Amino acid sequence: MRAIAVFVLLAIFPLAMQALDGMFYVSLASRILIYAIAATSLNLVLGYGGMVSFGHAAFFGAGAFVVGIMAVEGIRSAWIAWPAAIAVAALAALVIGALSLRTRGVYFIMITLAFAQMIYYIFVSLKTYGGDDGLSMPGRSTVGAGTLGNDLVWYYVVLGILAAVLYALHRLVRSRFGRVIAAIRENEARAEAIGFPVYRYKLACFVIAGAVGGLAGALIANQSSYVSPSLLHWIQSGTLMIMVILGGVGTIWGGVIGAAVLLGLEHLISDYRIGWLAALAPNYQDHGGLAVGIVLLAIVLAAPRGIAGFFRDA
Amino acid sequence: MLELRAVSKRYGGVVATDDVTLDVTHAEVHALIGPNGAGKTTLIGQISGALETQSGRIIFNGADITRLPAHARVAAGLARSYQITSIFRRFSVLENLALAVQARSGSSFRYWRPVAAEKPLFAEAAAIAAEIGLHERLGTIAGQLAHGEQRALEVGLALATQPQLLLLDEPMAGMGPRESQAMIALIARLRTRVTMLLVEHDMDAVFRLADRISVLVNGRLLATGAPAAIRADPQVRQAYLGEELAA
């Protein structure tokens, strides 16, 4: 019920913004919703699966580059480019997961980080497709004869995909597979000892999350028709992780809340000048990262299980 | 049913199990006893597949399972319980058991249908809960059960996989006399339908339940035989039973 209410509000939002001449906020909201999808996909492995992957940007960035490269090469149909982005991200997750999941704990964190950084450096050195400078696309993907260039249409496409992803996650965590994943997070040795091939389940979970991460990447490439290699950088992985931890590890809405709070906060600090804060520290906006960090620290201290966990406890 | 052939395991320079050759025959309760550090739990780990076996062969129902992963051994009919309770602490009793039933009833690579809709899983889990005396605790979160109840669930999880051979690693560990009696009664009920290899320190329980007893000392098999023969064996008395029986 609450979920439906949230989506009704999100559906009304751009209409209100249109009336108030605030289309900029619709674009910002699309970006937040795309990051919500990416963070949700990370939450599946990290929160539900208990696998602390520090390389999720690899799948996010790979999805973005697939769409970007295909667009530059003349393939702009979303029906072709997006499934391709999902497939490539899933394949990357299959390879990276198959190797990384043989390790545990800190080793797993480091090896996923290493793989993602490897992919980052590959794309930085790929001069044909922008290298350091990134890749500009001729425009957003097309659907049949139409394009997704209209920001309002774009917002609703992203919102629809987010709704589908959240519903799928809701189903998945209650399915047989979801129970096994929860059991593995809880007690891996025992899950194996009652007959579950643990490695295969973890790999499947990793691949699903990678595929959805790739889908989010396909969307972020379209958001500004530009693909930056920074999407693959470890800072991106860290940002997604912060969103998940901030929003609520292992909760359906964790990724959404985390993305909204983090990106909303960044926007608030860099684009608004808060009078009393400026009086206190005149150039606080030049140190936006520090300001965001302090607020995040306060939130995490107040809600150690994330914002979604905070509301569930209350 | 289970044949160990010269099974060994070393940790660095330390020998945990050393050249153990042992048979567990169909429908028997075979007790494995020995002093602390004798390698009993290591041997259970090797049979169940949780630990790698460096040399020797493990044969189950005629098939060599020495290199088979643990989950595949469960599918073949071999299940274990743990000396140190290992349950899904944040799941309810019913969810714990239903999960173990799920493990052997069809694929779990199913992503859409809620598991709660699968009534047979939970019906069977409830039946197992009744068998282990937890039928009034179905909704209780496993981590909040009393110690004895957690021990019962520990055995229940292994039982729910419907094993042909059940490896019980000190099922009575840390139990009071009343709880121990309940566990002994459970094992006695189970013996008609499942073969058991029982590691236990409670000699009263061992001599009441076991058809045969094997004695492990310093990783080596000292003797195997009927309870009366083991009780009378001078070597066993000297190495282990003397102190236990005197105590």
Q: What is the mean pLDDT of residues A246-253?
A: 93
End-to-end alpha carbon distance in chain B: 35
Does residue A305 register a pLDDT over 50?
Answer: yes
**Which pLDDT value is given to residue A269?**
83
B114/chain A closest Cα distance in angstroms: 4
Query: A106 in a domain, yes or no?
Result: yes
C-beta atoms of B88 and A183 within 8 A: yes
Write out the two tokens for A57.
């940007």
Average pLDDT over chain B reads 91
Does residue B121 register a pLDDT over 90?
Answer: yes
Query: pLDDT band at B241, cuts 50/70/90?
Result: low
Query: A17 in a domain, yes or no?
Result: no
Does residue B246 register a pLDDT over 50?
Answer: no
Which H or E run contains A280? Answer: helix A275-280
pLDDT digits 0-9 by tens, A190-238: 999 999 999 999 999 999 999 999 999 999 999 999 999 999 999 999 9
The residue segments making up the domain with residue A241 are: 32-313
Least confident of A65-69, A131-135, B41-45, B91-95: A131-135
Provide the residue ranges of all domains of chain B, joining segments of one domain with +.
2-246
Q: What is the mean pLDDT of residues B75-87?
A: 94
Does residue B242 register a pLDDT over 70?
Answer: no
Percent of the residues in chain A that have a pLDDT greater than 70, as a whole number? 99
Percent of the residues in chain A that have a pLDDT greater than 90, as a whole number? 71
Q: What is the mean pLDDT of residues B149-156?
A: 95
Asked if B87 is an interface residue toward chain A (Cβ–Cβ < 8 A), one would say yes
C-beta atoms of B113 and A175 within 8 A: yes
**Which pLDDT value is given to residue A293?**
83
Does residue B170 register a pLDDT over 60?
Answer: yes
Does residue A313 register a pLDDT over 70?
Answer: no
Contacts of B79 in chain A (CB under 8 A): 193-195
* Of residues A283 and B218, more confidently modeled: B218
Asked if B182 is an interface residue toward chain A (Cβ–Cβ < 8 A), one would say no
Query: pLDDT band at A10, cuts 50/70/90?
Result: very high
Q: Could you tell me which residues come within 8 angstroms of residue B14 by beta carbon, excluding any fewer than 6 positions away?
A: none
- How far from A108 is each of A100, A184, A298, B147, CA to CA, in Å? 6, 16, 29, 34
A227/chain B closest Cα distance in angstroms: 32
Query: A56 in a domain, yes or no?
Result: yes
Query: pLDDT band at B243, cuts 50/70/90?
Result: low
**Which pLDDT value is given to residue B247?**
43
Cβ contact B98:B126 at 8 Å: no
C-beta atoms of B108 and A176 within 8 A: yes
Fold classification of B2-246 is: Rossmann fold (3.40.50)
Q: What is the ipTM of this complex?
A: 0.91
Does residue A291 register a pLDDT over 70?
Answer: yes
Least confident of A115-119, B15-19, B27-31: B15-19
Number of cross-chain residue pairs from A and B with Cβ atoms under 8 Å apart:
97
Rounded CA-CA distance A30/B40 in Å is 60
- How far from A277 is each of A238, A262, A282, A291, B9, CA to CA, in Å? 28, 19, 8, 11, 66
A157/chain B closest Cα distance in angstroms: 23
Query: A157 in a domain, yes or no?
Result: yes
Rounded CA-CA distance B107/B98 in Å is 14
pLDDT digits 0-9 by tens, A96-123: 999 999 998 899 999 999 999 999 999 9
Q: Which of B107, B111, B157 would best serve as a mutation to test chain A binding (most A beta carbons within 10 A)?
A: B111
Does residue B198 register a pLDDT over 50?
Answer: yes
**Which pLDDT value is given to residue A149?**
85
* Of residues A21 and B150, more confidently modeled: B150
Does residue B172 register a pLDDT over 80?
Answer: yes
End-to-end alpha carbon distance in chain A: 18
Confidence (pTM):
0.92
Percent of the residues in chain B that have a pLDDT greater than 90, as a whole number? 76
Q: What is the mean pLDDT of residues B142-167?
A: 95
Q: What is the mean pLDDT of residues A127-145?
A: 88
Least confident of A141-145, A156-160, A307-311: A307-311
Q: What is the DSSP string of A61-106?
A: HHHHHHHHHHHHTT--BHHHHHHHHHHHHHHHHHHHHHHHTTS-HH
Tell me the three-class secondary structure of B160-226, residue by residue.
HCCCCEEEEECCCCCCCHHHHHHHHHHHHHHCCCCEEEEECCCHHHHHHHCCEEEEEECCEEEEEEC
Query: pLDDT band at B244, cuts 50/70/90?
Result: low
Q: What is the mean pLDDT of residues B90-97?
A: 96
Does residue A312 register a pLDDT over 80?
Answer: no
**Number of domains comprising chain A:** 1
